[in-house]
Amino acid sequence: MWDPSHSFCKTSMSSLTNKRILLGVTGGIAAYKSAELIRRLQDRGADVRVVMTRAATEFITPLTLQALSGHPVHQDLLNAETESVMGHIELARWADLILIAPASANFIARLAQGHGDDLLTTLCLASESPIAVAPAMNQAMWANEATQENVAALASKHVRIFGPDEGLQACGEVGAGRLLDVDGIVLLTEKVFPSHLLDGKKVVITAGPTREAIDPVRYISNNSSGKQGYALAEAAIEAGAQVVLISGPTGLPAPDRSRRVDVVSADEMFDAVMKEVGDADIFIGVAAVADYKPVHREEQKIKKGDAPSNQVLRIDLIENPDIISGVGHLAGRPYTVGFAAETQNVVEYARKKLTKKNLDMVVANDVSDTSIGFNSDDNRITVLWADREVELPKLSKRNVATRIIELIAQGLREAGRS
């Protein structure tokens, strides 16, 4: 049974659980971020061992990375001490993935040319496991034709390239070449190992806002960007599900391998959901569905001066159908997950929605905080079931989505429906 007193990260099933990751650290100022990366990979269940190039040790000490990884750090090809703990060929065989982060321009060049003149390049040559590099360098070095050719050569040999990011660099310049943020590297690392958590399941997800027409050019809507719902669609696809994404108007591209159904109003979303949900295993209602719509949609554009003499123009509103409540009360309903967008008493109100709408799980978020609510890149959620709840730290919406998919898979297992 799940023990909610454990921290979420340690108890959740991740595609990195028990995966053996050989982290190569090369020379560059971003080497200090490898300390955080080790921790985050371990949080996701990975066993991490570290190889450092000589240049990397100028930026962060082997002792730091040894303490964090819990294993001796390997540095030299012909070091009798570390070879006796685990020889380099054994180390190459041990790894499920070799991840080089940060990867300097020099290292990328040597890897592309097949060098084997230090421990890290030798391990890459000797390993049959996937290799990923997260480049980090000055923007001009990244843009240099030689680097671009080397990166293209690696990509053509199926080496995965994680990043780089753009922005302000340690040297004061701005451009592409920054190490991808640690969350992003972890996420891409997880993608190397599909989780299979929802293999063969049909998942229907609603996302984005709805628009309720007042006249041909005006509508009532809200600030939902669709980011959280689309991130969930991507996470479900990665977990092996067939995803139908029923989306209100957003500017986002449909995730690869999803089937997107575009809708505008709550009524249209209701019809699309009811059409799709009959054979679904899971329904996730992320959409910010308008609770009310105008009773009448004016045929022509309302004109200035159309207001009566007291200058108050009234628009009468009527309730929209509650889509998720409709799904929650279907006989033989799918595992039904709602969201609760609250501005106060977040958990208390979310729990009421869980009961009233007859849901299996509710994801509560505080939308009064603009850094985590509508249209933000991050979210902080509390997940509630009838008998328990778990609070997650602030994470990117993509990472939140991965956690939610894991919790849904766990909920399905516990309900004997996996």
Active-site positions?
A: 171
Q: Which is nearer to ligand PMT, 121 or 224 (CB)?
A: 224
Name residue 181's beta-bridge partners.
none
User: Could you tell me the smallest distance in angstroms from the CB atom of residue 357 to ligand PMT?
Assistant: 6
Q: Which is nearer to ligand PMT, 202 or 397 (CB)?
A: 397
**In contact, 107 and 30? CB cutoff 8 Å:** no
Nearest to 198 by CA among 258, 246, 242: 242
SS3 28: coil
- Distance CA(396)–CA(182), nearest Å, equals 11
Q: Provide the residue type at 326 as one letter.
A: G
Name residue 98's beta-bridge partners.
22, 131
User: Could you tell me the smallest distance in angstroms from the CB atom of residue 145 to ligand PMT?
Assistant: 39
DSSP code string of 64-97: HHHHHHTSPPB--TT-HHHHHHS-HHHHHHH-SE
Q: Which is nearer to ligand PMT, 241 or 327 (CB)?
A: 327
User: Could you tell me the smallest distance in angstroms from the CB atom of residue 416 to ligand PMT?
Assistant: 24
- Distance CA(390)–CA(385), nearest Å, equals 9
User: Could you tell me the smallest distance in angstroms from the CB atom of residue 330 to ligand PMT?
Assistant: 13
User: Could you tell me the smallest distance in angstroms from the CB atom of residue 292 to ligand PMT?
Assistant: 9
| Packing angle of the helix pair 62-69, 33-43 (nearest 10 deg) | 10
User: Could you tell me the smallest distance in angstroms from the CB atom of residue 227 to ligand PMT?
Assistant: 4
Q: Which is nearer to ligand PMT, 219 or 339 (CB)?
A: 339
Tell me the pairing of strands 361-366 and 381-384.
antiparallel
* CB-based burial label for 90 (10 Å; 0-12, 13-18, 19+): exposed
User: Could you tell me the smallest distance in angstroms from the CB atom of residue 223 to ligand PMT?
Assistant: 7
Q: Which is nearer to ligand PMT, 40 or 227 (CB)?
A: 227
User: Could you tell me the smallest distance in angstroms from the CB atom of residue 13 to ligand PMT?
Assistant: 23
Q: Which is nearer to ligand PMT, 25 or 290 (CB)?
A: 290
Q: Which is nearer to ligand PMT, 60 or 287 (CB)?
A: 287
Residues 32, 35, 40, 44: is their CA dihedral positive or negative?
Answer: positive
Nearest to 111 by CA among 159, 75, 145: 159
Q: Which is nearer to ligand PMT, 102 or 373 (CB)?
A: 373
For residue 22, the surrounding DSSP H or E stretch is strand 20-25
Which spans of this chain sit near ligand PMT (rule: CB under 6 A)?
206, 224-229, 266, 285-289, 291, 320, 322-324, 338-341, 353, 365, 367, 373-375, 397
Burial letters for 263-295: b for 16+ Cβ neighbours within 10 Å, e otherwise?
Answer: bbbbebbbbbbeebbeebbbbbbbbbbbeebbe
For residue 292, the surrounding DSSP H or E stretch is strand 292-294
For residue 384, the surrounding DSSP H or E stretch is strand 381-384
Inter-CA distances, 198 with 62, 238, 255, 385, Å: 39, 9, 17, 19
- Locus of tokens 């499920």: 96
- Locus of tokens 């959409």: 287
